[in-house]
Amino acid sequence: MNTCRIGLVSISDRAAKGVYQDQGIPALAAWLTGALVTPFKLETRLVPDEQLLIEQTLCELVDEMGCHLVLTTGGTGPARRDVTPDATLAVADREMPGFGEQMRQISLHFVPTAILSRQTAVIRKQALILNLPGQPRSIKETLEGVKDEQGKVLVTGIFASVPYCIQLLEGPYLDTDPAVVSSFRPRSARRPADS
Read off the pLDDT of residues 142-191 as tens digits, 9 standing for 90 and up. 999 998 888 888 899 999 999 999 999 999 999 999 999 999 998 888 88
Predicted TM-score of the model (pTM): 0.94
String of b and e for 82-94 (b: at least 16 CB within 10 Å)?
Answer: bbbbebbeebbee
Positive/negative CA dihedral, 32, 164, 118, 140: negative
Cβ neighbours of residue 78 closer than 8 Å, sequence gap 6 or more = 116, 118
Contact 10, 46 (CB under 8 A): yes
List the domain boundaries for the chain.
4-189
| C-alpha–C-alpha distance, residues 161 and 156, integer Å | 9
| Number of alpha carbons in the 13 Å side-chain half-sphere of residue 151 | 5
Determine the pLDDT at residue 29. 96
Encode pLDDT of 96-152 as tens digits: 999 999 999 999 999 999 999 999 999 999 999 999 998 899 999 999 999 888 888
| C-alpha–C-alpha distance, residues 16 and 18, integer Å | 5
Phi first, then psi, for residue 109 (nearest 5°) are -70, -15
| Number of alpha carbons in the 13 Å side-chain half-sphere of residue 35 | 23
Q: What is the CATH number of domain 4-189?
A: 3.40.980.10
Contact 61, 67 (CB under 8 A): yes
Would you say residue 195 has pLDDT above 50? no
